[in-house]
Amino acid sequence: EVQLVQSGAEVKKPGESLKISCKGSGYSFNNYWIAWVRQMPGKGLEWMGIIYPGDSDTTYSPSFQGQVTISADKSVSTAYLQWSSLKASDTAMYYCARHRKEKIINDYWGQGTLVTVSS
Amino acid sequence: QSALTQPASVSGSPGQSITISCTGTSSDVGGYNYVSWYQHHPGKAPKLVIYEVSNRPSGVSNRFSGSKSGNTASLTIFGLQAEDEADYYCSSYTSSSTYYVFGTGTKVTVL
């Protein structure tokens, strides 16, 4: 069974750093892209970017380029999303998903990680 | 790259059919058959219900149907059921540097 399990909710202060994770199982993690998607409170889904764990090839949405870093460690079948200096506007639910480029779809999703940034 | 345009809300009674539109441009919806639709119940992970404009993943009810005409894609839900009450998002490949874009989302209410 394909599963993506994300790390737990985080509460941080502005300016702090953060790295959240997404662990894949039940499939060949190295051979499928992982996408990250943001949902701000009361808002819609936003595409952040994708990474290919096999070679760490990464594409960012221009809206998120330079704002976050997407990475992966194929040895532990885990993808990451990190911030070096959080802002209150980073408060959101973040989802990872397995992305299939040949069909341009996100077929399996993680349960989401809620990030709250507040002073 | 702006989000694809969807109506904010659509409603219908149980058993009725509803259609959600998703309008883009020739650089995304109109130019490629890579439109997909996601059902999102609050607090849960989104679920793929339609891909490549009109294909249903295994296990998705045949009450969900997708189509496209020009720059506008549509999701139709036949025989509306209470469990269909959720947010629905279209998405598409885009030839812009963004690569992929979601729609603005539509809240479906079952009356």
A-chain CB neighbours of B32 within 8 Å are 104
Residue ranges in chain A whose pLDDT is less than 50? none
A95 reaches B (C-beta below 8 A)? yes
Give the model's pLDDT for residue B97.
Answer: 83
- Cα A33 from Cα A90, distance rounded (Å): 24
CA angle B21, B25, B31 (to 5 degrees): 100
**B45·A45 Cβ contact <8 A:** no
Say if residues A31 and A21 touch (Cβ distance below 8 Å).
no
- Cα A53 from Cα A4, distance rounded (Å): 14
Tell me which H or E stretch contains A116.
strand A113-117
A-chain CB neighbours of B97 within 8 Å are 62
Give the model's pLDDT for residue B36.
Answer: 98
- Amino acid identity of residue A19, one-letter, is K
SS3 label, residue B84: helix
Give the 3-state DSSP-derived string for A16-69, with helices as H, strands as E and coil as C.
CCEEEEEEEECCCHHHCEEEEEEECCCCCEEEEEEEECCCCEEEECCCCECCEE
**B46·A111 Cβ contact <8 A:** no
Give, for all 111 residues of chain B, the pLDDT tens digit. Answer: 689 999 999 999 999 999 999 999 999 999 999 999 999 998 899 999 999 999 999 999 999 999 999 999 999 999 999 999 999 999 999 998 889 999 999 999 999
Say which residue the tokens 């009810």 belong to: B61
A61 reaches B (C-beta below 8 A)? yes
Give the model's pLDDT for residue B43.
Answer: 87
Strand partners, B93: B100
Give the model's pLDDT for residue B2.
Answer: 84
Say which residue the tokens 């650089």 belong to: B27
A57 reaches B (C-beta below 8 A)? no
Looking at B1-111, which runs of residues are DSSP E strands? 9-12, 18-23, 35-40, 47-50, 64-69, 72-77, 86-93, 100-102, 106-110
A112 reaches B (C-beta below 8 A)? yes
A88 reaches B (C-beta below 8 A)? no
Say which residue the tokens 């999703």 belong to: A109
**B46·A45 Cβ contact <8 A:** yes
**B99·A61 Cβ contact <8 A:** yes
Torsion sign, CA atoms A7, A26, A109, B23: positive
A97 reaches B (C-beta below 8 A)? yes
